[in-house]
Amino acid sequence: MEKTTLTKSLDENALQFIELVKGLNQNEFEDNINDKWSAGQDLVHLIKVLQIVNVGFSLPKPILRLLFGINKNDSRPFEDLRQVYKNALDGGAKAPTIYIPKPVSYRDKEHLIQKYTSLNKSFIDKLNNHTAHELDSYRLPHPILGKISLRELASFTSFHTAHHFDSLKSKLAHLNN
């Protein structure tokens, strides 16, 4: 996926998720539905992911090369990577403990929305500071997908947000029926 398409996808998926969360009442935001995370916990989870991804995208390139090596393969297309991730989830893969959110209070909703929005903007800025070659050459570790290119990690971040949006819509439909 081209960088401009990728940044647009990141921005649109984040906006779509935030618009959904903004309209939630206290119960919709705080309640766990079918033993799944609450909307607030989904939001905190996405914040935790963006915090880590922002750190990774801020590392100097020599450090990236030293710690994670250089990507010798082409970056996988968006749809291929999404399918690999979906298969891993279907196979029982779960978020590592550091990404699992504690219960979230409705009173923190606005602050968390602002934090998420700011982190997503920062991530898009960091992404735009890398050339296409750098996005395909440098790697970072992903807890489920292994070492992946920066482009793949940006793609993951986009479809991961969409995944949580779809999941939250489904949970809310169940709650409101």
Given pLDDT bands bounded at 50, 70 and 90, which one contains residue 177? low
The rounded distance, in Å, linking the Cα atoms of 119 and 17 is: 14
User: Bigger pLDDT: 36 or 42?
Assistant: 42
pLDDT at 172 over 70: yes
Share of the chain above pLDDT 90, in %: 85
Given pLDDT bands bounded at 50, 70 and 90, which one contains residue 1? confident
Q: How far is CA 107 from CA 35, 39, 110, in A?
A: 22, 13, 7
- Give the pLDDT of residue 127: 97
What are the pLDDT digits (tens) for 103-139?
A: 999 999 999 999 999 999 999 999 999 999 999 999 9
What are the pLDDT digits (tens) for 40-66?
A: 999 999 999 999 999 999 999 999 999
Given pLDDT bands bounded at 50, 70 and 90, which one contains residue 74? confident
In this structure, what are the phi and psi dihedrals at residue 26, rounded to the nearest 5 degrees?
Answer: -60, -45
Average pLDDT over residues 87-112: 94
pLDDT at 155 over 90: yes
| Assigned CATH class of 3-175 | mainly alpha
- Domain extents for the chain? 3-175
pLDDT at 167 over 70: yes
pLDDT at 8 over 90: yes
- 3-state SS string for 127-171: HHCCCHHHHHHEEEEECCCEEEEHHHHHHHHHHHHHHHHHHHHHH
